[in-house]
Amino acid sequence: MSLYKSISVNSQTTVKIWKIEESYSVLIAPLDLKPESLKRVLSMKSELHQRGFLSVRHLLREFGYTDQDLFYDDNGKPHLKDGKHISITHSFTFSGVIISDNEVGIDIEKQRDKIAIIAKKFVDYEFQYLDKNNSEYINKLTVIWGIKESLYKLFATPGMLFREHFLVIPFMLQDQETVCWIDYKMKKYRYQSYFLEFEGFTCAYVLG
């Protein structure tokens, strides 16, 4: 089984990342899934999505939880029955879970040039410090997207827009952290965000 990386962010927060190398049958065999989880995974048309879903359950086991400990609210936000905060992500061949005593969000994205085509949909303020001609442009856009996706998962409020309501403060890729803000309905919320790159992927996570 492929636990790829475990990060102790602080005494209350841990990130675990899984590299999805196993087949669907190998992943599902040891799992005890709730009926609704089994129904959901069987309804997925893509085996890649099925393997992503199942690998997240293996990450839960790494934390000492099972599928029975996880539930979702009406906004689709995951929760744990013991009250700890959780956020979940999977992208192609990697999945990630962050668990904390505080609000959190996590996202993994594959680094792809086509993110530049949609940049205007999720970037506004950040264009002030981004350089389209810089070799790090795609990587920085991917970090920004990952942080904003993490903020969206953390806040879980319908109607929030990446471009208008989320801000990522200037950063250097080697710093692997920055500050980010939610500016929504006349209120501002400040968060610390972290990011790392591996095998052509970017993982970002945000702490409340």
Report residue 136: phi and psi, to 5°: -95, 5
pLDDT digits (tens, 9 = 90+) for 22-34: 999 999 999 999 9
* Final residue before a domain boundary, out of 101, 134, 158: 101
SS3 56: helix
pLDDT in tens, 74-129: 888 999 999 999 999 999 999 999 999 999 999 999 999 999 999 999 999 999 99
Report the domain count for the chain.
Answer: 2
**Same domain, yes or no: 88 and 125:** no
Confidence of residue 1 (pLDDT cuts 50, 70, 90): low
- Beta-carbon contacts of 61 under 8 Å, excluding residues fewer than 6 positions away, are none
Residue 2 pLDDT class (50, 70, 90 cuts): confident
Q: How far is CA 82 from CA 23, 99, 103, 166, in A?
A: 31, 11, 14, 30
Residue 92 sits at the vertex; the CA angle it makes with 42 and 124, to the nearest 5 degrees, is: 120
DSSP state of 157: -
Question: Are 166 and 195 within one domain?
Answer: yes
Shared domain check, 113 and 95: no
Taking residues 167-171, what's their average pLDDT?
Answer: 98
Q: Compute the mean pLDDT over every residue in the chain, rounded to the nearest whole number.
A: 96
Pair 120, 192 in one domain? yes
Q: For residue 32, what are the domain limits?
A: 3-101
The CATH number linked to 53 is 3.90.470.20
- Among 101, 135, 169, residue at a domain's last position: 101
* φ, ψ for residue 195, nearest 5 deg: -155, 155
What's the predicted TM-score (pTM) here?
Answer: 0.95
pLDDT of 187-197, one tens digit each?
A: 999 999 999 99
62 and 136 housed in the same domain:
no
Q: Tell whether 91 and 164 lie within a shared domain.
A: no
Q: Does 145 lie in the same domain as 96?
A: no
- Name the domain boundary from 69, 101, 133: 101
Residues 67 and 136 in one domain: no
